[in-house]
Structure 1
Amino acid sequence: MRDSLNSQQIQSFITDGFVRIDNAFSAELASEARNILWNDIPADPEDSSTWTQPVVWLGMYTQEPFIKAANTNILHGAFDQLVGKGKWIPCMSMGAFPVRFPSAVDSGDTGWHVDAGFAGDDPTDFFAARINVHSKGRGLLMLFLFSDVSKLDAPTRILKGSHLDVARLLEPEGEEGLSFMELATKLPELPERPEALATGKAGTVYLCHPFLVHAAQRHCGREPKFMAQPPLLSRRGFDISGNSPCSAVEEAIRIALST
C-alpha cells in the first residue's frame, strides 16, 4: 500500500500532535451518513426553529456509509504509519456524534480534556475511565467531519504540542495512569500552547495523538455541525522504552520523556 502521509506530515504529527487529511472519505458518504443521523435527532433539518438544544449526543453507528468512511485506503495507510502495521483494530462502528447546533446557550461540555483509553473500576463511568503513559487501549483520537466546518461552526479546539506535556504528566503514574477527571484537573498546570481549529470540508479527518488536549466550543454559525470522534483502538500499549523501532505515536512519547 502506498504511504498516505509524507515525512513532513509525520513530523508535524510528532511535533504538533495531529495531522489533517483532506478528502479522507467522500462528500457523498458524508451526506448519506447525515441523512441517517437526522432520523435520530428530535428536530427538523429544514426548520431551524426546532433546533432547540445546543448539542445532541448520538451513539455508535454501523451502517455502510460510516464503515466505509472509517476504512478508506488513505486512512488505513495513515494508521499503519502513525500507529504501526498490525497494531490497530479496524473501526467497525462510528461514533460518538456530538451534533452541535447554532446556539447562544453553553452546552456545558466545552472544557479542555484528553480522551481516556481504558475502563476504570466502574466500566459504566466515563469520567473514571483512565489514560496511562503507554496509551493502553487507544491508538489515536480521530475527528471525522461529516459536514463542512468553518471557524464559526464549533470546530474542535486543539492545543498544539500538548500531547508532549501530557506524556510527562502521565509517566510518574505508571500502568494505572490517571482517570479522565484526574488528568483534566491537572491540565491548567501545563505550559501555554498555541491553539488550532479543526476546520475543513465534509470528508476531512484529523488524526490526533491520543494524549492531545482538545475541547469543544459553542456553535456560532448557521448549519448544524456533524462530527464523529471515534477512537482508533490499539491491540496493545505503546513501547516507550526507546530500545526498538517505533511508530510516530511512540516516537512523540519518547521525545517528550527524554526532554
Structure 2
Amino acid sequence: MKEVLNSIQIKQFIEEGFVRIDNAFSAELAAEIRHILWNDMDADPGDPATWTKPVIRLGMYSQPPFIQSANTPVLHAAFDQLVGKDKWLPCRSMGTFPVRFPSTEEPGDTGWHVDVSFGDNTTNFLEWRANWHSKNRGLLMLFLYSDIGEEDAPTRIRTGSHLDIARLLKPHGEQGLSLLEMAAQFPSLPEREEKTATGKAGTVYLCHPFLIHAAQPHRGKEPRFLAQPPLLLRKELMRDPEDLSPVEQAIQLGISS
C-alpha cells in the first residue's frame, strides 16, 4: 500500500481529529464540477445581483466528475491508512451541496454538530444517531471545490472534540445518542481550539466521524462550493482490538482518557 500520510499527520489525525490533503484532486476537475452546479442554480456566476440567498442546497450528485474527485489514488491510499484496508466503501455520491454566497443575512444553519450515521426517520435528521463505534461511517470528509479563505465561510472545526464525543457515546452502547441529545451535552464538554477548513480548490479535509464542526456566514466575495460526504464502512469498527486503525485508535484514546 502506498502511504500518503506520514507519522506526524497520522498523529495529528488521532489527537486533533483531522488531516488536510492538498491537491487531492485537480483544480480542473473542481472547475468542471462548479460549472455543473452553477447550471443547476437560478443564479449567474458573473452577476452578484442574482446571488440573493445566503445558501442554496443542491441535491445528490453522482456524475463522473464528482465520483472522480472522490476516488483519486491519493485519497484511496489515505482511506486505507486512516480507516483500514478493505474496511471502507468507495464514494459513489457526493450528497447534498450547500453552496454559500456572500451575504449579510444569517444562513440559519451554523450550529455546532456531529454528523450522525444511522436512524429510521428519513424525514427528521435530528432523530438520527451516532454510537461509540461509529456505525456506518468511517470518516467525515470536506471537499473544497472552490478556493476557500477565512472570509469565505470555511467550515469551523473544534480540534480534539472527537475524543470528547467518543467518551460521551461509550456508555450508551449500540443505541448511541441522537443529534439533539449530543448537542445538549456540548456545553459541558472541554473547551477546544477552533480551526477553519481553508484551502485551494482540490483540497480535502479527512476528519474523524465524531469531530464537532459547524458552518458559518459568508463574508467574502465569491461563492463557496464544498461537499461533506461520509466515507461509508464495509466492515464495522472496533471489532478487532489487536488491529486498530487511526480512526479506531482515536476512539480508544477518547474512551480511555
- Same-fold call, TM cutoff 0.5: yes
Is the counterpart of residue 248 in structure 1 residue 246 in structure 2?
yes
1:1-259 aligned within 5 A: 1-119=1-119, 121-239=120-238, 243-259=241-257
Tell me, yes or no, if the aligned pair for 1:136 and 1:236 is still in contact at 8 Å: no
Tell me, yes or no, if the aligned pair for 1:132 and 1:178 is still in contact at 8 Å: yes
RMSD: 1.0
Q: Which range is displaced more, 248-257 or 122-131? A: 122-131
User: SS at the partner of 1:112?
Assistant: coil
1:59 and 1:236 mapped to 2: Cα distance? 28
For 2:201, the aligned partner's letter is A
State the Cα distance separating 1:240 from its structure 2 match: 6.5
1:189 and 1:53 mapped to 2: Cα distance? 34
For 1:98, the aligned partner's letter is P
Cα deviation 1:97-125 (Å, max 9, x = unaligned)? 11000001111100000000112x31332
The total of aligned residue pairs comes to 257
State the Cα distance separating 1:235 from its structure 2 match: 1.9
Percentage of matched positions with identical amino acids: 65
Cα deviation 1:155-213 (Å, max 9, x = unaligned)? 00000000000101101111000111211121121110000100000000000000000
2:54 and 2:252 mapped to 1: Cα distance? 39
Tell me, yes or no, if the aligned pair for 2:87 and 2:236 is still in contact at 8 Å: no
Tell me, yes or no, if the aligned pair for 2:147 and 2:224 is still in contact at 8 Å: yes
Q: What 5-or-longer segments of structure 2 have no aligned partner?
A: none
Q: Which range is displaced more, 122-131 or 146-155? A: 122-131
Tell me, yes or no, if the aligned pair for 2:13 and 2:207 is still in contact at 8 Å: yes
Tell me, yes or no, if the aligned pair for 2:13 and 2:208 is still in contact at 8 Å: yes
Q: Which range is displaced more, 231-240 or 158-167? A: 231-240
User: SS at the partner of 2:244?
Assistant: coil
Tell me, yes or no, if the aligned pair for 1:240 and 1:250 is still in contact at 8 Å: no
Cα deviation 1:92-150 (Å, max 9, x = unaligned)? 1112211000001111100000000112x313321111100010010000000000000
Please list every run of at least 4 consecutive aligned residues from structure 1 whose deviation after the TM superposition is greater than 3 angstroms.
Answer: none
Tell me, yes or no, if the aligned pair for 1:240 and 1:254 is still in contact at 8 Å: no
Cα deviation 1:10-29 (Å, max 9, x = unaligned)? 01000000000000000000
